[in-house]
Amino acid sequence: MTTHSFALHIPDAELEPDPLDPAQILSGTPEVSGKVVWESADGKQLRGIWQITPGVVTDTEADELFVVVSGSATIEVEGGATFTVGPGDMAVLRAGDRTTWTVHETLRKAYAISL
């Protein structure tokens, strides 16, 4: 993790395994990896890269803005919208959103999270 200004080529960034809670997996054998590349001093702001392989998973979201670099997924927000994202798409998720992610092809995103 870095504490200064930087640039990073997202497609080539090395990520670390970040196992899912088995209770989150609805279908398939999705694997998650990621890397926090910047964190505020108070730990409430995170910037990073996240990746998930195909499958269907559930999550409860943080306040997040992300941009998809590669892959695709359909995200269903409980009681809200369903949208499909792919390379170049930006999405915003609200803290507390309960989501179901159907990952069609391995998805890699860059994110900014506020806790």
Q: What is the mean pLDDT of each run of 10 residues along the chain (115 residues)?
A: 84 97 98 96 96 98 98 98 98 98 98 97
What are the two backbone dihedrals, phi and then psi, of residue 40, each rounded to the nearest 5 degrees? -65, 160
Q: What is the pLDDT of residue 3?
A: 67
Find all residues with CB under 8 Å of 44, minimum gap 6, and list them. Answer: 114, 115
Q: What is the pLDDT of residue 4?
A: 77
